[in-house]
Amino acid sequence: MSSLTNKQILLGITGGIAAYKSAELVRRLKERGAQVRVVMTQSAQEFITPLTLQALSGNPVHTDLLDTQAEAAMGHIELARWADLILVAPASANFIARLSEGRGEDLLSTLCLATTAPVAVAPAMNQGMWQNPATQDNMSRLLSRGVRVMGPAQGSQACGETGPGRMLEPDQLADASAELFTTGSLSGKRVVITAGPTREAIDPVRYLSNHSSGKMGYALAAAAAEAGAEVVLISGPTQLTAPERVNLVNVVSAQEMYDASLTHAQGCDLFIGAAAVADYRPETVSNQKLKKGADDQMTLTLIKNPDIVAAVAQLTPKPYTLGFAAESENLLEHARAKLERKQLEAVVANDITAEGIGFNSDNNAVILLDRTSRIELDQRSKAQLARDLIALIAQRMP
């Protein structure tokens, strides 16, 4: 069974008799590890109740664009950002027409317009409606815009006719959804990623550290594995579990991260320094717990830690080396300086003062900068951002 671990799937249900299968689909998606939120159109609610979908998904069902209560809990733009995939199943002929026209008159069509995540439709309708040139034109338009199409299948229909137009079975839709996340753009490549904070010991019970959650590095590791790479994730202490098919190497201090990175980066194709490495560490680490003295002040002498990403950039053969620049001012200037000083191939720059993104957040907005281009990726989930970054980096690697 193909996996959807930690994928956030927004399931759109439109009005059609196949909507009864959407209840089963929620279960199949969750069995594969996905989190599911359901959005229903008005006509979908004629076929199946929101209560059923709420119970199965474990989340409130969203039905209205202009519902102030729902907007206060999770607004439509937040919902669009939350999704790693919008899957519309069943997608009626009417919904497909609205999507192809780019309409935003109800919640589901608005979400499809607003999201940066992939959108997939599973058409389900009478065979005559499916084969009608109007529907076929709409489908061609959707395909040309990158909407993924799952099915339809051939066979007997609820209306008593036989032909193309049956929705794919829930198991097939769950498998096809998992397939969408496997790109192959890094297949055969070895990727090493650092993530999380480091801890610099002061004495046996105290340390210096920072607020890095590790989420961005872990999301990049998951995206690289999904793209077919062999991934080593060198992580400082975090609350996260390693993504599937990723080799996790746990470290604590910057020096340990440096040693592990230089060992694993030898001969790798891509190195991503996403860790928030402590720039300095205490010069001496006391063997015993330091005691409070009579003085009101205490002085710690710090010495510089080695720069991991800069050292990896000096290896031969040199991997494609990507660093992060988390800045609170003069973002591009500092990021460009880092690119040159550390001799990196590219830098991911983010403004840590912007609201709702960065260190501990699930969202981020960044600029990918290399010597010939600058690409702005506006706010989206870290999972989606990681997939987009990996796709862009894969295109740039030799």
Applying CB under 6 A, which residues contact ligand C5P? 194, 254, 273, 275, 277, 279, 305, 307-309, 323-325, 338
Q: How far apart are CA 297 and CA 316, in angstroms?
A: 47
Q: Is the Cβ of residue 13 or residue 325 nearer to ligand C5P in the bound state?
A: 325
Residues 6+ apart with CB under 8 A from 5: 32, 33, 34, 243, 244
Q: How far apart are CA 15 and CA 17, in angstroms?
A: 7
In DSSP terms, 154 is beta-bridged to 164
In whole angstroms, how close is the CB of 309 to ligand C5P at the nearest point?
Answer: 4
Q: Is the Cβ of residue 145 or residue 304 nearer to ligand C5P in the bound state?
A: 304
Question: 159 an active-site residue?
Answer: yes
The active-site residue out of 55, 159, 290, 300 is 159
In whole angstroms, how close is the CB of 332 to ligand C5P at the nearest point?
Answer: 14
Pairing state between β 119-123 and 148-149? parallel
Q: Is the Cβ of residue 233 or residue 254 nearer to ligand C5P in the bound state?
A: 254
CB 230 within 8 A of CB 211: no
Q: What is the DSSP string of 296-359?
A: S-----EEEPP-HHHHHTTSSSPPEEEEEEEESSSHHHHHHHHHHHTT-SEEEEEETTSTT-ST
The three-state secondary structure class of 239 is: coil
In whole angstroms, how close is the CB of 229 to ligand C5P at the nearest point?
Answer: 19
In whole angstroms, how close is the CB of 243 to ligand C5P at the nearest point?
Answer: 19
Q: Which two tokens stand for residue 121?
A: 């439709």
In whole angstroms, how close is the CB of 147 to ligand C5P at the nearest point?
Answer: 35
In DSSP terms, 327 is beta-bridged to 351
Q: Is the Cβ of residue 41 or residue 194 nearer to ligand C5P in the bound state?
A: 194
Q: How far apart are CA 352 and CA 343, in angstroms?
A: 23
In whole angstroms, how close is the CB of 247 to ligand C5P at the nearest point?
Answer: 19
CB 352 within 8 A of CB 371: no
Question: Which residue numbers are catalytic?
Answer: 159
